[in-house]
Structure 1
Amino acid sequence: MPAYENYCNGQWMDSESGERFKVHNPANPSDVVGTFPQSTAADTKRAIEAAVEAQPKWEQTPAPERGSILRRAASLLGGQANELAETLSREEGKALPEASGEVARAVDILYYYGEKANDLGGEVKSSSSRDTRLQTKTEPLGTVGLITPWNYPIAIPTWKLAPALATGNTVVLKPASQAPIVASLIAKCLDEAGLPDGVLNVITGPGSEVGQTLTTSEDVDAISFTGSTSVGQLVGETAAAGGKRVQLEMGGKNPTLVMPSADVNTAAEIVSDGAFGVTGQACTATSRAIVHDDIYETFVEALVEHAENISIGPALDGYDMGPHISQDELNGTLEYIDVGQSEGATLEVGGSVPQDERHKSGFYVEPTVFSDVSSEMRIAQEEIFGPVVAVIPVSSYDEGVAVANDTKFGLAASIVTEELGEAHRFVDDVEAGVVKVNEKTTGLELHVPFGGMKASSSETYREQGDAGMDFFTTTKTVYLNY
């Protein structure tokens, strides 16, 4: 089995602990995809020291030169896209087409920020004085810590580290222990592309050691975190107490409101794709379908049909939906399915572990649809990181929006309607950072801001696009009198 190492100060090295952990294939847990260092606080401090030492020279590197390194890394990453997609599928479990799309996204992000680096610098403003030039100067924060999740193990690390590097920051990245391989391969590509030693450091291991050290170190200037709300709030409180800039993207309970004017089959397809894609393991996954009474029964029938037609199996074997990443994640989904039934919701389809031969060794669950759900039920309020959707009946647009907003989360939301007025009203009324009309809640183009409201986000800085660079920079206002 491949043995991977930490990337620290331009070198590949083991942890000082000498201990390692295994990464398993969720479709076949006996298949060990690789082993990684079980890093300590001392390993993390060494990486932070390397990043701090490398930062001044990296900041002084002309931004177009920094961008050219990102573009070379993108080319290297793209040259091994097929192998990377297979590796991603083996370590995370998502279907191969989904993994291929994620790898392509990472390549595009590197190219995008490689080009955006050319535009860095500042702006010239008009002064009220005759002999004064007034301008701004954009500067990096310094050294930043990135803590990323397992569900998008190459896209999310890339959309954090690419703008951080482009703007002149140095980085210590802690990828999720369940799926750290592709993050290490990004570091390899950047190393081969000419990234100076110490500018990027990748340290694997537990949050209690690596993550805690990053969030408490006085030498780390900012923390960008993506993960669960409970962990994110703790990370945010700890980092903010130390005066760090904080960016948190966390959970969701994302609704799709289906109105009577919608084509029912189209609406069911939109909800199905949003709920069951990537095995429902996305913070933007559609978790609630809020459907008008006039089409409720027809919609439920159509959604059930979509769920029944999804093939389940190993990611590399051509199936539509792969397994959960771990037994713990599967158990969590199955517990919520039990909760839904105990609360009185109607289990329309799914809800069980499939029993075919190909499912015996993986963490599989059937796509699951609940009907007769009310907004106060736990399955309508709490995030379920799996392929489960709750269908809630409403009698009007106003009631539908009220139900959509009736959670602590506010990440993504969509409406399916042919009424232009309803579409515009929904954009104004719904409490979500990403709003879509006649489209699934998942997915976002890389050049637009991404982030949530309420408990889904720290609501400080957005990710992606120009907003992705804002988090990693600060601005000086400069007066030049002559």
Structure 2
Amino acid sequence: MKTISPIDDSIVWKGSETDAADVPQIMQRADQAGRLWRRVGVERRIEIVQKYASYLTDNRDEITQLIVHEVGKLSWDAAGEVSASIAKAAVSIEAMQQRRFGAVVDQGPPRRTIRYQPLGVAVVLGPFNFPLHLPGGQVIPALLSGNAVVMKPSEQATAVGFWMANAWQAAGLPEDVFNLIIGRVEPATAAIDSPFTKGVFLTGGQAAGQAIHRQLAGRYDVLLALELGGNNPIVVMGDVEAKATSMTVSFSAFISAGQRCTCARRAYFVAGKETDDQISELVSRTESLRVGLPGDQPPAEIGPVISAEAAHSLRETYDQLIRLGCKSLVPWKDDPRRKNLVHPMILDASEVPESAMSQLVALEWFGPLLVIHRVETFDDALEAAAATPYGLSAALLGGDQNRFDRFVNEVGAGVVNWNRATTGAAGTLPFGGLGQSGNHRPAGFHAIDFCSDPVASIESATIDESDPWSMAQ
């Protein structure tokens, strides 16, 4: 097995895939290590997490360049991911202290308390698009909560996964508290099937989330946290200045080559005096975006998608949208240097028949492709934006507080922004989707919540000598 750089086709990592037959032993070792780890005091766990963050800080250039090389991110984008990964340590500690520290509810007597105990072994399945930050956002709170972790990085980001494992070892994490399994579906399936697994945390596509949900059918003792994709809408009011619109909408749709789960896939333009100029500016801005590789001069604004296969899949989606009735405003174009260097595209769905619209809003794609719609009113835009089985992110440009409040309440998404890109997220907020974009287990600041179980206690240092049966007399 090997990972191939999307920049130059060089081999970034080469090694053996974890044999599914070896997974039961890995899970058993993790369980044994976790039983000791949960006894380690919280202050020591915090100390190790802080050392992990320090290791990232001291080696940020090394891991930044590895992310660039293995998944093709532009340098500034990879550096931003590393910074977010470092910040995640302090944010997770704060989240635990705010949301998951034990508390005395009533001094009594008897005393009433809440404590939190770890789940056991948590299986973390990471994505390629943020190979350090997104799995780290689940690994860190899981470890803080006293769980052992078995992580399978994306098969397209194996080197970053190994780098993370080494970072935890350097931070002083005990052996087998953090474990890697390597490969595609088979080792992950074996890990999920393990009787030692008590939590499964996935960041990935809807199909993968559905498959894991089915695999765990009947195993209600395993906590499943799904952070999935979306078909995210951005609604633009007709009086918003055209240039600002073009910048925010294009950033929402095309940042990281459209390979963020929060990227806008649909843009609704509400009829108004600025609408024609808004769309014209958006098309112009999109056509002017520099597409290229890390190291290009002048620097690229849009990098490659993860592989030629991903580009091919995106082209199939583009062709499907054309067949549904979309018209091309910025057509498909790939760079002659590499098939996975795909220029951003815009399709106009304003004339797509109503009978085909349900297919459009149910599609899930991962790349720099935006579908725009012209609508007459805000009500039309809101109804169309919400008409999708997904519900990860959404944004409204323009309008007033009352209109935004209605947008939040009715659009059906877990991340809803106002006059900001759909990709805007904060480490101090929850992060997760509704509908087919998640299963009510938001990550971000709230990831700490799905890493432990609350335990309620009524406590007294002495036995109550009164007769409890007296109530029945």
**Equivalent of 2:248 in 259, 263, 270:** 270
Separation in 1, partners of 2:197, 2:323: 47
Q: Deviations over 1:405-458 (max 9, x none)?
A: 111100000000142321222112210011000011113111211110111111
Task: Say which SS state the counterpart of residue 44 (structure 2) adopts.
Answer: helix
Task: Say which SS state the counterpart of residue 471 (structure 1) adopts.
Answer: helix
What does residue range 422-461 of structure 1 map to in structure 2 within 5 Å? 422-459=403-440, 461=441
RMSD between aligned residues = 1.6
What does residue range 48-197 of structure 1 map to in structure 2 within 5 Å? 48-114=27-93, 116=95, 120-126=100-106, 131-197=109-175
Matched, 1:463 2:443: yes
Distance 1:379 1:316, change over 3 A: farther
Separation in 2, partners of 1:80, 1:114: 21
Separation in 1, partners of 2:412, 2:152: 31
Are the counterparts in 1 of residues 311 and 339 from structure 2 also a CA contact under 8 Å? Answer: no
Are the counterparts in 1 of residues 239 and 275 from structure 2 also a CA contact under 8 Å? Answer: no
Are the counterparts in 2 of residues 354 and 366 from structure 1 also a CA contact under 8 Å? Answer: yes
Separation in 2, partners of 1:253, 1:427: 16
Unaligned runs of 5+ in 1: 1-20
Separation in 2, partners of 1:361, 1:391: 27
Amino acid at match of 1:25: S
Distance 1:83 1:402, change over 3 A: same
Separation in 1, partners of 2:411, 2:349: 23
What does residue range 7-26 of structure 1 map to in structure 2 within 5 Å? 21-26=1-6
Separation in 1, partners of 2:5, 2:37: 38
Structure 1 segments, 4+ long, off by >6 Å, are none
Q: Deviations over 1:51-90 (max 9, x none)?
A: 1011121101001110110100111111111221111011
Alignment match, 1:351: 332
Task: Say which SS state the counterpart of residue 319 (structure 1) adopts.
Answer: coil
Once the two structures are TM-superposed, the CA of residue 380 in structure 1 deviates from its matched residue by 4.0
Once the two structures are TM-superposed, the CA of residue 379 in structure 1 deviates from its matched residue by 4.2
**Equivalent of 1:304 in 283, 307, 311:** 283
Q: Deviations over 1:197-249 (max 9, x none)?
A: 11000111121x21101211111011111111011111122124333111111
Task: Say which SS state the counterpart of residue 384 (structure 1) adopts.
Answer: coil
Alignment match, 2:218: 241
**Equivalent of 1:204 in 182, 205, 208:** 182
Are the counterparts in 2 of residues 379 and 390 from structure 1 also a CA contact under 8 Å? Answer: no
Alignment match, 1:386: 367
Are the counterparts in 2 of residues 67 and 118 from structure 1 also a CA contact under 8 Å? Answer: no
Once the two structures are TM-superposed, the CA of residue 114 in structure 1 deviates from its matched residue by 4.3
Amino acid at match of 1:301: S
Once the two structures are TM-superposed, the CA of residue 364 in structure 1 deviates from its matched residue by 1.4
Matched, 1:42 2:21: yes
TM-score scaled by structure 2? Answer: 0.92
Distance 1:362 1:331, change over 3 A: closer
Q: Deviations over 1:242-277 (max 9, x none)?
A: 331111111200000001232222122111001110
Are the counterparts in 2 of residues 68 and 114 from structure 1 also a CA contact under 8 Å? Answer: no
Separation in 2, partners of 1:380, 1:481: 57
Q: Deviations over 1:328-370 (max 9, x none)?
A: 2100111122222223222111312123xxxx23511111011
Separation in 2, partners of 1:226, 1:116: 20
Are the counterparts in 1 of residues 333 and 342 from structure 2 also a CA contact under 8 Å? Answer: yes
Separation in 2, partners of 1:42, 1:296: 59
Once the two structures are TM-superposed, the CA of residue 115 in structure 1 deviates from its matched residue by 5.2
Task: Say which SS state the counterpart of residue 241 (structure 1) adopts.
Answer: coil
Once the two structures are TM-superposed, the CA of residue 116 in structure 1 deviates from its matched residue by 4.9
The count of residues paired between Structure 1 and Structure 2 equals 452
Separation in 2, partners of 1:195, 1:458: 30
Amino acid at match of 1:123: A
Distance 1:469 1:288, change over 3 A: same
Separation in 2, partners of 1:383, 1:100: 27
